Chain A
Amino acid sequence: MSSIANSIFTPETAARFDKLASIYPVKRSALVPMLLYAQDEIGYVSNAAVAEIAERLDLLELDVRNVLSYYSMLRTAPVGKYNVQVCTNISCMLRGGFELLDHCKKTLHIGHKETTADGLFSLEEVECIGACCWAPAVQVNYDFHEDLTPAKMDAVLEDYRAGRGKDVK
């Protein structure tokens, strides 16, 4: 049973949130993990999610939004089923990250932070995703794809298009 009467989250997530709010010395420390789990469940951090998290942690909605807008991996708008995040930071840039990004833009016919018409893919240029050893790297939802070339990228996208990828949003 969740501490919030009409939670917008599933009973499992709600229970997880109840626990999260109780394990830190200060309740608001649970804010970032909560936002991440909320995003995993809903696909993005909606206004309703902001409102509920604020209520759970005794924060103002504005406080939640202040943190939410700081982290670029947290989203406030829905993305496609597969969110393609292309790293263009130093290592990836030197190994062709920008070519990869341009290639994705061309093949998917979308730009930065846009979603394809069928809602399958969205594209995002991101800061370092921590895969410098295998640059250039791309993260699709929670999957890593490293050491890519435009041709390899096509194959990766094709896999997802054919429904062979993990579906975590």
Chain B
Amino acid sequence: MADVSFTVDGKKLTAPAGTLLIDACKSAGIEIPAFCYYPGLSLQAACRMCVVRIEKQPKLATACTTTVAEGMNVTTESPEIAQARKATLQLLLGNHPLDCPVCDAGGECELQDMTFKYGAADSFYTEPKNHREEQQWSPVVYFDRPRCILCYRCVRMCGEGMDIFALGVQNRGSSSVIAPNIPVSESPNGMAALDCEQCGMCIDACPVGALTSGTYRYKTRPWEMNHVATVCTHCGDGCKTTLGVRSVSDGSEIVRGDNRDKSGMNGDFLCNKGRYAFDFANNIERLTSPLVRKDGKLVPVSWEEALGFAGKRLREIRDEKGANAVGVIGSNRTTNEESYLLQKFARTVIGTNNIDHHRTADYVTLATALQGTTTVAGKPRFASQRCVEKSPAILLVGGDPTNEAPLTAWNIRTNVRLNKARVYVANHRDIKLKRQAKAFTPVAEFGYAAFIDSLGEENEFTKAVKSEEKLLVVVGNELRGGELAKLIAALPHAKFALLADYANSRGAADMGVLPDALPGYQPLTGSAIASEYTSPSEPGLDLLGMFDAAANGKLAALYVVGSNPVKRYGIDATALKDTFVIVQDMFLTETAMLADVVLPAANLYEKSGSVTNSYGDVQLVSKAADKAGVRSDFEMIVRLADKFGHEIKTLVPFGKGLRADMGQTRGAQSGEADRHSVWLTANNMEPKLSPFDPFAILDEIQRLVPGYDKLLRLQLLSGNDQHIAPAGSGLVQISGSRKDLVLPAADSLFTSGSLTRYSPMLQDVQRHQADEAATPLASAD
């Protein structure tokens, strides 16, 4: 829209016509206080805090509902306005308890800040305060009614934002209250409860301490924590999260997950996993000491002994039985650097292509099917997560983003709400996003091939889809191999995104943790990367092939990093009885229990590096938490290679001549080391990278992996997401006999792959949804 010019506090401003005054002022650095206004949600004008004086208007007007107009003259601060705001605060404080010292919002409370600013210290209200006991609505949401100022942010957030409508407003006048969707009269335990996605967005939006978080409340205060921005460990969406961490005796513990830093592609959104399921990191069952099997039992030993034994044994087996008697399994939860290093370890240290990981979506097909095709309007056909929020039309084929990729679902809803995007859904289930859809077409289970064929026909659905000029296709992991390639061929004008499970599924595939492709989906022979690697040119065994080989006595050693294939693929434990197994994991999983050497690993919240989400957006993960006794997978792979007798410099280039990370990646723990490197630089001495610094290998990734050469180090270190697309040509060719090994976890919203069992809060929420929330629904039938 055309720009208009107006004056605020004597300052000449311009903004597009239709901009809300409060937003226009904010962009110009003029802060107008408001409680009920929340960007992106519908307008309420309930709190009267944002009143301003607009010239030629008889009364003070609310800045949150006034749009800017040509020639408007606005005053945002004057004695009159301050008096009006003070009176509003006095009204809001009428029943508000002054329990700031114990309230969890203390220090982060907008009401507290405003009271401090306008000084509404005395009240004309002489009646006794309207007091109610605090209520627990779910394992994670608590409601303290007297603190509530009825701004309706939570109600709108839940209804418009989440499409749940779990909160409403009941009664009227001074007895108005925010009420959950399961009232006392329908609740099995006699307490009001919430049947919702337990996302905690209502808590985040609450400007006061009326809604508080079950995981955080009464544990600490905002100023006592370090706040580290990193990436959520759970699904493939790659939400940026701000972790509140605090020092404890054995490291540092995560006490809160939220998104204060709204700079990521998720804005302020986090789902229940990102917000509450960090507690797996604090689980007391964490392995904190290396274990080696002695007389049939796993016993704790020193790091030196465990790594020495593992490295020596691996060398013996490789030398005796050949490189192809060794298998390596990677992870969806390790950083790109670790995945890259692991496949390099397998290919150059061991000398085999027997490397694979638990694949949750078919990225090889996506990359190869899109290669060589022209871009859409000059832009690559690989979509970014940000496209979901902006694209005017979205076709969702398969998948259930609400449960499996909550940010994708949130972005679709936001796009529909704010930009009136047209959403088309083709699915074999009645997924919740159907409510946002302009058109829905049911597909038989396993019948996506028929749906793709129907795209060639003329019916209303296909006509609507094909008439979209800018179409984004979000594909669920039900589609793979030939079907996926056919879908991509059927919609030549569209952008594509493929949804995977887990934090770094895409990264593992991009980094070449695959038996038949090198990093960047490069073929095993002929490419630049292949000429640098001296690895065999024949494809290795895939994940299931390795276990078959083990059962047939042909796999003498198996190195598993951060995954639990025995449980996930239902592998018979006896298959591994003659195989020497090394496992790196956080917990003693089913696979780890069969191992000869178990190495305690750090998780994604405890190390730095980069991860790539389902869409190919690369982000930095920073070390937030810390646990004594564990090591990063990166360090363990390097040390194992060292004990193996390999020249480390050929595995991890380090030392002079490399671009160093000056400590930005070490997050909350940065300190002495950074000051040291600053001093070194100041004195014209080059800081030397250690072989355990994951950024030592990032140079090689940028040099060798097509697509990642576009990565900008400064963007990464500034915490921005960058979209990466595999290179346009020379990718691995899919042969007709390629096995389909994709096994999606198909997680529901309240589970998260293998981590749920270690997260008490996720289990608690699951139980709540099954009991308190499900019972009234069942009785209503």
Contact = CB atoms under 8 A, between A and B. Distances in A.
B170 A70 contact: yes
Given A62-B166, A62-B181, A65-B179, A47 B171 contact: no
A66 B169 contact: yes
Contacts of B169: 66
Contact of A66 (B166, B170, B185, B780): B170
A7 interface: no
Given A47-B185, A51-B780, A62 B172 contact: no
Nearest to A71: B172
B183 A65 contact: yes
A133 B60 CA distance: 39
Closest 7 CB pairs of A and B: A69-B170, A66-B168, A62-B181, A62-B168, A69-B171, A70-B172, A60-B165
B186 interface: yes
Interface string B145-178: 0000000000000000000011111111000000
A125 interface: no
A147 interface: no
Contacts of A66: 168-170, 179
Contacts of A69: 170-172, 179
Contacts of A76: 185
Contact of B186 (A47, A60, A70, A72): A47
A76 B172 CA distance: 15
A70 B172 CA distance: 5
A88 to B, nearest CB: 16
5 contacts: A63-B165, A65-B183, A66-B179, A69-B170, A70-B170
A66 B169 CA distance: 6
A65 B180 CA distance: 10
Contacts of B170: 65-66, 69-70
A69 to B, nearest CB: 4
B181 A70 contact: no
A61 interface: yes
| Most chain A CB atoms below 10 A, which of B166, B180, B183 | B183
Contacts of A61: 181
A63 B780 contact: no
Given A69-B171, A70-B171, A70-B172, A62 B186 contact: no
Interface residues of B, number: 15
Contact of A62 (B165, B171, B185, B780): B165
A156 B230 CA distance: 73
Given A62-B180, A69-B170, 15 more contacts: A47-B186, A60-B181, A61-B181, A62-B165, A62-B166, A62-B168, A63-B165, A65-B168, A65-B179, A66-B169, A69-B172, A70-B170, A70-B171, A70-B172, A76-B185
A69 B177 CA distance: 10
A72 B181 CA distance: 20
Contacts of A51: 780
A119 to B, nearest CB: 21
B779 to A, nearest CB: 9
A62 B169 CA distance: 9
B720 to A, nearest CB: 39
A62 B185 CA distance: 13
Contacts of B172: 69-70, 72
A63 B166 CA distance: 10
Nearest to A46: B185
A62 B171 CA distance: 12
A51 B172 CA distance: 22
Interface in B316-356: none
Contacts of B167: 62
A60 B549 CA distance: 56
Contacts of B166: 62
Nearest to B155: A66
Q: Which of A60, A62, A63, A70 has the most CB of B within 10 A?
A: A62
Contacts of B185: 47, 76
A55 to B, nearest CB: 9
A47 B166 CA distance: 17
Contacts of A62: 165-168, 179-181
Nearest to B164: A60
Nearest to A68: B170
A21 B780 CA distance: 22
Nearest to A64: B168
A148 to B, nearest CB: 27
A24 B181 CA distance: 26
A44 to B, nearest CB: 12
B400 to A, nearest CB: 21
Nearest to B186: A47
A47 B777 CA distance: 12
A62 B195 CA distance: 11
A51 B180 CA distance: 16
A104 B183 CA distance: 33
Contacts of B165: 60, 62-63
A133 B171 CA distance: 29
Nearest to B175: A69
Nearest to B181: A62
A112 B73 CA distance: 54
B382 to A, nearest CB: 39
Nearest to A77: B185
Contact of A63 (B168, B171, B183): B168
A167 B654 CA distance: 93
Interface in A103-123: none
Nearest to A52: B780
Interface in A27-66: 47, 51, 60-63, 65-66
A70 B176 CA distance: 8
Interface in B741-781: 780
A106 to B, nearest CB: 27
A63 to B, nearest CB: 7
